[in-house]
Amino acid sequence: MHRRMPDAPAANRSCEESLMGYGVDSHCHVLDPGAFPFSPDAAYRPPPHEAGTGAQLAAVLDAHELSHALLVTPTGGYVYDNRCMVAAIEASKGRFRGIARVRPDVDARVLEELAAAGVIGIRLDLITDGVGLMHHAALPRLFDHVRNLAWQIHVQCEGNQLHDCLGTLRAARIPLVFDHCGRPDAAGGIEQPGFAALLEMGREGHAVKLSGPFRYSRQPPPYPDAEPFVRALIESFTPAHCVWGSDWPFLRMQSRMDYGPALACLARWFPDAADRRKALWDNPARLFGFASA
Protein backbone atom coordinates (compact mmCIF):
# COMPACT_ATOMS: atom_id res chain seq x y z
CA MET A 1 0.00 0.00 0.00
CA HIS A 2 1.64 3.19 -1.16
CA ARG A 3 -0.95 5.93 -1.52
CA ARG A 4 0.23 9.49 -2.00
CA MET A 5 -0.20 11.87 0.93
CA PRO A 6 -2.20 14.87 -0.29
CA ASP A 7 -0.15 17.98 -0.97
CA ALA A 8 -2.94 20.35 0.04
CA PRO A 9 -3.19 21.41 3.72
CA ALA A 10 -5.17 18.93 5.76
CA ALA A 11 -6.43 21.33 8.41
CA ASN A 12 -10.07 20.76 7.49
CA ARG A 13 -9.85 17.00 7.19
CA SER A 14 -11.17 14.58 9.80
CA CYS A 15 -8.73 12.73 12.06
CA GLU A 16 -9.17 9.48 10.14
CA GLU A 17 -8.67 11.15 6.76
CA SER A 18 -5.52 12.93 7.92
CA LEU A 19 -3.93 9.63 8.96
CA MET A 20 -4.56 7.91 5.63
CA GLY A 21 -1.82 7.31 3.08
CA TYR A 22 1.82 7.57 4.03
CA GLY A 23 2.61 7.06 7.69
CA VAL A 24 5.34 5.48 9.79
CA ASP A 25 5.07 3.43 12.94
CA SER A 26 8.39 4.54 14.42
CA HIS A 27 8.69 1.91 17.14
CA CYS A 28 7.64 -1.70 16.81
CA HIS A 29 9.16 -5.16 17.04
CA VAL A 30 9.05 -8.48 15.22
CA LEU A 31 9.30 -11.77 17.09
CA ASP A 32 9.17 -15.04 15.20
CA PRO A 33 10.45 -17.76 17.54
CA GLY A 34 9.46 -20.48 15.08
CA ALA A 35 11.95 -19.24 12.50
CA PHE A 36 14.32 -17.45 14.89
CA PRO A 37 14.44 -19.11 18.33
CA PHE A 38 14.94 -16.84 21.30
CA SER A 39 18.45 -16.33 22.65
CA PRO A 40 19.45 -18.79 25.38
CA ASP A 41 20.58 -15.88 27.57
CA ALA A 42 17.33 -13.91 27.24
CA ALA A 43 16.11 -12.90 30.69
CA TYR A 44 12.56 -12.57 29.32
CA ARG A 45 11.13 -15.00 26.80
CA PRO A 46 7.88 -13.58 25.39
CA PRO A 47 4.91 -15.96 25.50
CA PRO A 48 3.22 -16.99 22.24
CA HIS A 49 0.58 -14.24 22.38
CA GLU A 50 3.36 -11.61 22.34
CA ALA A 51 4.96 -12.91 19.14
CA GLY A 52 4.48 -11.00 15.90
CA THR A 53 6.06 -11.73 12.54
CA GLY A 54 6.92 -9.26 9.81
CA ALA A 55 3.95 -10.45 7.77
CA GLN A 56 1.61 -9.96 10.72
CA LEU A 57 2.97 -6.47 11.29
CA ALA A 58 2.45 -5.62 7.63
CA ALA A 59 -1.19 -6.71 7.96
CA VAL A 60 -1.65 -4.47 11.00
CA LEU A 61 -0.14 -1.52 9.17
CA ASP A 62 -2.41 -2.17 6.19
CA ALA A 63 -5.47 -2.28 8.46
CA HIS A 64 -4.59 1.14 9.85
CA GLU A 65 -3.46 2.56 6.49
CA LEU A 66 0.17 3.10 7.47
CA SER A 67 2.87 2.60 4.89
CA HIS A 68 6.15 2.00 6.76
CA ALA A 69 7.62 0.90 10.09
CA LEU A 70 10.86 1.26 12.01
CA LEU A 71 11.69 -2.06 13.66
CA VAL A 72 13.66 -2.27 16.89
CA THR A 73 15.31 -5.50 17.98
CA PRO A 74 13.64 -6.28 21.31
CA THR A 75 15.80 -7.03 24.34
CA GLY A 76 13.10 -9.47 25.40
CA GLY A 77 13.63 -12.74 23.57
CA TYR A 78 16.48 -11.70 21.28
CA VAL A 79 18.90 -9.63 23.44
CA TYR A 80 21.59 -8.89 20.77
CA ASP A 81 20.34 -11.22 18.03
CA ASN A 82 19.17 -9.07 15.11
CA ARG A 83 18.47 -11.86 12.61
CA CYS A 84 14.68 -11.83 12.96
CA MET A 85 14.55 -8.08 12.42
CA VAL A 86 16.95 -8.19 9.46
CA ALA A 87 14.92 -10.94 7.79
CA ALA A 88 11.74 -8.87 8.16
CA ILE A 89 13.45 -5.81 6.68
CA GLU A 90 14.76 -7.78 3.71
CA ALA A 91 11.31 -9.28 3.04
CA SER A 92 9.57 -5.90 3.27
CA LYS A 93 11.01 -4.50 0.02
CA GLY A 94 11.73 -1.11 1.57
CA ARG A 95 8.72 -0.89 3.85
CA PHE A 96 10.74 -1.54 7.03
CA ARG A 97 14.02 -0.20 8.37
CA GLY A 98 15.68 -1.15 11.64
CA ILE A 99 17.45 -0.25 14.87
CA ALA A 100 19.80 -2.96 16.12
CA ARG A 101 20.91 -4.08 19.55
CA VAL A 102 24.65 -4.72 19.65
CA ARG A 103 27.29 -5.38 22.27
CA PRO A 104 29.62 -2.45 22.96
CA ASP A 105 32.59 -4.40 21.57
CA VAL A 106 30.83 -5.45 18.35
CA ASP A 107 33.07 -5.81 15.30
CA ALA A 108 32.84 -3.03 12.71
CA ARG A 109 32.16 -5.60 9.97
CA VAL A 110 28.97 -6.67 11.76
CA LEU A 111 27.77 -3.07 11.80
CA GLU A 112 28.55 -2.68 8.11
CA GLU A 113 26.55 -5.82 7.32
CA LEU A 114 23.63 -4.47 9.35
CA ALA A 115 23.82 -1.17 7.48
CA ALA A 116 23.70 -3.00 4.14
CA ALA A 117 20.58 -4.83 5.37
CA GLY A 118 18.63 -1.64 6.14
CA VAL A 119 19.66 -0.89 9.73
CA ILE A 120 20.12 2.82 10.47
CA GLY A 121 21.23 2.86 14.11
CA ILE A 122 21.64 1.11 17.43
CA ARG A 123 19.60 1.02 20.58
CA LEU A 124 21.04 1.56 24.05
CA ASP A 125 18.72 -0.13 26.54
CA LEU A 126 19.66 1.42 29.87
CA ILE A 127 16.71 -0.22 31.60
CA THR A 128 18.09 -3.69 30.92
CA ASP A 129 21.83 -2.97 30.79
CA GLY A 130 21.97 -0.26 33.44
CA VAL A 131 23.65 3.13 33.35
CA GLY A 132 26.94 1.31 33.94
CA LEU A 133 26.87 0.49 30.23
CA MET A 134 27.86 4.09 29.57
CA HIS A 135 31.23 3.44 31.24
CA HIS A 136 32.08 0.38 29.14
CA ALA A 137 35.63 0.63 27.78
CA ALA A 138 34.50 -0.24 24.24
CA LEU A 139 31.78 2.39 24.03
CA PRO A 140 33.90 5.23 22.55
CA ARG A 141 34.96 2.93 19.71
CA LEU A 142 31.34 1.90 19.13
CA PHE A 143 30.34 5.56 18.96
CA ASP A 144 33.09 6.12 16.38
CA HIS A 145 31.64 3.33 14.22
CA VAL A 146 28.14 4.79 14.56
CA ARG A 147 29.36 8.22 13.45
CA ASN A 148 31.25 6.74 10.51
CA LEU A 149 28.09 5.01 9.33
CA ALA A 150 26.07 8.22 9.74
CA TRP A 151 23.78 6.27 12.07
CA GLN A 152 21.78 7.38 15.08
CA ILE A 153 21.35 6.10 18.64
CA HIS A 154 17.96 5.27 20.12
CA VAL A 155 17.87 5.34 23.90
CA GLN A 156 15.54 3.47 26.22
CA CYS A 157 15.73 4.81 29.75
CA GLU A 158 13.45 5.34 32.71
CA GLY A 159 13.22 7.48 35.80
CA ASN A 160 16.39 9.51 36.28
CA GLN A 161 18.73 7.34 34.21
CA LEU A 162 19.10 9.93 31.48
CA HIS A 163 20.22 12.54 33.99
CA ASP A 164 22.97 10.19 35.13
CA CYS A 165 24.44 9.64 31.65
CA LEU A 166 23.60 12.88 29.89
CA GLY A 167 27.22 13.99 29.60
CA THR A 168 28.33 10.79 27.88
CA LEU A 169 25.48 10.89 25.39
CA ARG A 170 26.01 14.55 24.64
CA ALA A 171 29.74 14.02 24.11
CA ALA A 172 29.05 11.25 21.58
CA ARG A 173 28.05 13.86 18.98
CA ILE A 174 25.52 11.47 17.42
CA PRO A 175 21.84 12.15 16.65
CA LEU A 176 19.74 10.75 19.49
CA VAL A 177 16.16 9.49 19.53
CA PHE A 178 14.52 8.78 22.88
CA ASP A 179 12.02 5.94 23.24
CA HIS A 180 8.67 6.02 25.01
CA CYS A 181 8.76 9.65 26.20
CA GLY A 182 11.76 8.78 28.37
CA ARG A 183 9.55 6.63 30.62
CA PRO A 184 9.35 9.15 33.47
CA ASP A 185 7.96 8.46 36.92
CA ALA A 186 4.34 9.44 36.36
CA ALA A 187 4.08 10.72 39.93
CA GLY A 188 7.30 12.73 39.77
CA GLY A 189 6.23 15.68 37.65
CA ILE A 190 8.02 17.20 34.70
CA GLU A 191 10.70 18.69 36.98
CA GLN A 192 12.15 15.27 37.88
CA PRO A 193 15.86 15.18 36.90
CA GLY A 194 15.59 12.48 34.25
CA PHE A 195 12.72 14.14 32.44
CA ALA A 196 14.30 17.59 32.76
CA ALA A 197 17.40 16.12 31.06
CA LEU A 198 15.20 14.81 28.25
CA LEU A 199 13.70 18.27 27.73
CA GLU A 200 17.26 19.61 27.44
CA MET A 201 17.90 17.12 24.66
CA GLY A 202 14.83 18.44 22.88
CA ARG A 203 16.11 21.99 23.01
CA GLU A 204 19.41 20.72 21.55
CA GLY A 205 17.69 19.33 18.45
CA HIS A 206 17.39 15.61 19.14
CA ALA A 207 14.18 13.59 18.59
CA VAL A 208 11.67 11.78 20.79
CA LYS A 209 9.20 8.97 20.22
CA LEU A 210 5.78 9.83 21.56
CA SER A 211 5.13 6.17 22.20
CA GLY A 212 4.29 3.82 25.04
CA PRO A 213 2.34 6.02 27.48
CA PHE A 214 1.22 2.70 28.96
CA ARG A 215 4.87 2.06 29.87
CA TYR A 216 4.87 4.77 32.53
CA SER A 217 1.25 5.77 33.16
CA ARG A 218 -0.36 4.59 36.38
CA GLN A 219 -3.86 5.11 35.02
CA PRO A 220 -5.98 3.22 32.49
CA PRO A 221 -6.51 4.43 28.91
CA PRO A 222 -6.39 7.17 27.76
CA TYR A 223 -3.58 7.57 30.34
CA PRO A 224 -4.42 11.06 31.63
CA ASP A 225 -1.36 11.19 33.90
CA ALA A 226 0.86 10.91 30.80
CA GLU A 227 -0.57 14.03 29.18
CA PRO A 228 1.57 16.64 31.04
CA PHE A 229 4.72 14.82 29.97
CA VAL A 230 3.64 14.61 26.34
CA ARG A 231 2.72 18.31 26.27
CA ALA A 232 6.11 19.23 27.73
CA LEU A 233 7.90 17.06 25.17
CA ILE A 234 6.05 18.61 22.24
CA GLU A 235 6.90 22.08 23.54
CA SER A 236 10.59 21.24 24.04
CA PHE A 237 11.25 19.07 20.98
CA THR A 238 8.69 20.96 18.84
CA PRO A 239 6.46 19.09 16.38
CA ALA A 240 9.42 18.99 13.95
CA HIS A 241 11.30 16.47 16.14
CA CYS A 242 8.52 14.22 17.40
CA VAL A 243 7.57 10.84 15.94
CA TRP A 244 4.89 8.34 16.89
CA GLY A 245 5.28 4.62 17.58
CA SER A 246 2.92 1.87 18.70
CA ASP A 247 5.35 -0.49 20.51
CA TRP A 248 3.55 -3.41 18.79
CA PRO A 249 3.23 -6.33 19.64
CA PHE A 250 3.15 -4.95 23.20
CA LEU A 251 5.55 -7.08 25.22
CA ARG A 252 5.26 -7.47 29.00
CA MET A 253 1.75 -6.03 29.28
CA GLN A 254 -0.50 -7.08 32.16
CA SER A 255 -3.63 -6.80 30.04
CA ARG A 256 -4.47 -6.89 26.35
CA MET A 257 -3.30 -3.98 24.21
CA ASP A 258 -4.78 -3.11 20.82
CA TYR A 259 -3.19 -1.08 18.03
CA GLY A 260 -6.12 1.25 17.40
CA PRO A 261 -6.15 2.98 20.82
CA ALA A 262 -2.38 3.46 20.63
CA LEU A 263 -2.74 5.20 17.26
CA ALA A 264 -5.69 7.25 18.53
CA CYS A 265 -3.37 9.00 21.00
CA LEU A 266 -1.80 10.84 18.08
CA ALA A 267 -4.94 12.86 17.28
CA ARG A 268 -5.26 13.89 20.92
CA TRP A 269 -1.62 14.96 21.16
CA PHE A 270 -1.64 16.74 17.80
CA PRO A 271 -5.10 18.20 17.14
CA ASP A 272 -3.65 20.14 14.21
CA ALA A 273 -3.58 17.95 11.10
CA ALA A 274 -0.33 19.49 9.82
CA ASP A 275 1.43 18.60 13.08
CA ARG A 276 0.00 15.07 12.93
CA ARG A 277 1.45 14.68 9.47
CA LYS A 278 4.87 15.77 10.76
CA ALA A 279 4.86 13.16 13.52
CA LEU A 280 3.41 10.39 11.38
CA TRP A 281 5.25 10.93 8.10
CA ASP A 282 7.40 14.03 7.51
CA ASN A 283 9.66 13.61 10.54
CA PRO A 284 10.22 9.84 10.41
CA ALA A 285 10.69 9.92 6.64
CA ARG A 286 13.46 12.49 7.15
CA LEU A 287 15.01 10.90 10.24
CA PHE A 288 14.86 7.26 9.20
CA GLY A 289 15.22 7.50 5.43
CA PHE A 290 11.81 6.38 4.21
CA ALA A 291 10.77 7.41 0.73
CA SER A 292 7.36 7.77 -0.85
CA ALA A 293 6.67 5.70 -3.95
pLDDT tens series, the chain, 293 aa: 333 333 323 333 333 333 447 999 999 999 999 999 999 999 999 999 999 999 999 999 999 999 999 999 999 999 999 999 999 999 999 999 999 999 999 999 999 999 999 999 999 999 999 999 999 999 999 999 999 999 999 999 999 999 999 999 999 999 999 999 999 999 999 999 999 999 999 999 999 999 999 999 999 999 999 999 999 999 999 999 999 999 999 999 988 899 999 999 999 999 999 999 999 999 999 999 998 76
CA atoms within 13 A on the CB side of 137: 0
> Which pLDDT tens digit goes with each residue over 176-227?
999 999 999 999 999 999 999 999 999 999 999 999 999 999 999 999 999 9
CA distances from 139 to 100, 176, 196, 204 (A): 15, 15, 25, 22
What is the set of domains in the chain, with CATH numbers? 15-288 (3.20.20.140)
Among the listed residues 178, 193, 200, 171, the one whose alpha carbon sits nearest the alpha carbon of residue 72: 178
Among the listed residues 283, 282, 281, 277, the one whose alpha carbon sits nearest the alpha carbon of residue 68: 281
Q: Distance between CA atoms of 159 and 198, rounded to whole angstroms? A: 11
